[in-house]
């Protein structure tokens, strides 16, 4: 049975309120939900979030030889820059990028890594099932933050999926390039790596970004999509996978857990001089 089929889905919509806070908070919220869902204090949760212009680095990016040059480059282009508390590599957020998080409980038996990715892939295919296109999963070489579950149409990537596990909870996150200039986003990350890596050889292989292999959903579907449009599709799809949708923000019990996770990610960012 599909992981998406849950008796109750708890829905949290931060697609508007997220524009007024830093992206750091989103990663702390997702960790909090992971702990709550894993611990049985919450049903499976689905959250939508959007932030203003931000480059989100992965932990591996923090090891780049000239990292400060890369950060300076990003900030000079008007973007905030943070490092998240998980692996993977740099991605771009802005007002035309919708992020979705699905948090599953590992109640009976472990959820395989691919099972989590497959659930998100299934959701995205369901959301856009009215378009006669094939949404494929597989690494798109030359994209930023490449992975085996890059989502693409006709060989062009529009989304990347990551996963995080805490205390019996599995959080699967995706960013969707809904509209706007995907090539410009790719060029930003290309410039970041050129500055932060320089000509140094590194043990870890960072992507050689090719701006031609990334595109927005609007471009790929030949449709004038907005984040609001995709939010409607998301909620409609979630409703079809559940007998009940419950709308609820962080509870009073979750608030101190959130604050502790926020402190952790703030400390990580402080070490790289990214707070203040």
Closest to 221 in 3D by CA, of 185, 179, 184:
179
Half-sphere exposure of 1 (CA within 13 A, CB side): 7
Name the active-site residue from 34, 81, 145, 179. 145
Structure tokens at 196: 């932060």
Indicate the burial class of 140 (C-beta count within 10 angstroms; 0-12, 13-18, 19 or more). buried
* Chain mean position to CA 252: 26
Tokens of 104: 């599953």
* Dihedral of alpha carbons 213, 94, 179, 177, sign: positive
Cα atoms found within 13 Å of the Cα of residue 62, Cβ hemisphere only: 17
d(CA 47, CA 30): 8
Longest dimension (CA), the chain: 55
Query: Is 145 a catalytic site residue?
Result: yes
Angle formed by the axes of helices 227-240 and 113-127, nearest 10°: 110
Distances (CA, A) of 232 to 175, 182, 204, 213: 16, 22, 39, 27
Task: List the beta bridge partners of residue 152.
Answer: 136, 157
- By annotation, the residues acting in catalysis are 145
């Amino acid at each position: 049975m599909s992981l998406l089929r849950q008796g109750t889905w708890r829905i949290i919509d931060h697609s508007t309120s997220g524009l007024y806070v830093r992206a750091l908070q989103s990663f702390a919220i997702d960790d909090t939900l992971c702990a709550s869902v894993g611990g049985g204090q919450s049903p499976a949760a689905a959250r939508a979030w959007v932030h203003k212009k931000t480059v989100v680095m992965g932990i591996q990016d923090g090891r780049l030889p000239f990292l400060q040059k890369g950060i300076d480059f990003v900030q000079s282009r008007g973007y905030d820059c943070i490092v998240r508390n998980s692996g993977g590599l740099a991605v771009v957020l802005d007002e035309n990028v919708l992020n979705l998080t699905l948090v599953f409980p590992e109640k009976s038996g472990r959820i395989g890594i691919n099972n989590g990715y497959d659930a998100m892939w299934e959701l995205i295919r369901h959301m856009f099932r009215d378009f006669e296109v094939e949404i494929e999963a597989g690494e798109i070489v030359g994209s930023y933050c490449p992975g085996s579950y890059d989502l693409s149409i006709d060989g062009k990537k529009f989304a990347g999926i990551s996963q995080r596990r805490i205390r019996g909870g599995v959080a699967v996150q995706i960013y969707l390039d809904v509209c706007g200039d995907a090539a410009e986003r790719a060029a930003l990350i290309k410039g970041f790596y050129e500055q932060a890596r320089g000509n140094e050889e590194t043990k870890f292989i960072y992507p050689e970004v090719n701006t031609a292999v990334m595109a927005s959903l609007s471009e790929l579907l030949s449709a004038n999509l907005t984040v609001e449009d995709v939010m409607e599709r998301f909620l409609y799809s979630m409703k079809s996978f559940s007998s009940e949708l419950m709308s609820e923000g962080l509870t009073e019990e979750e608030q101190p857990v959130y604050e502790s996770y926020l402190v952790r990610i703030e400390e990580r960012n402080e070490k790289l001089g990214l707070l203040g």
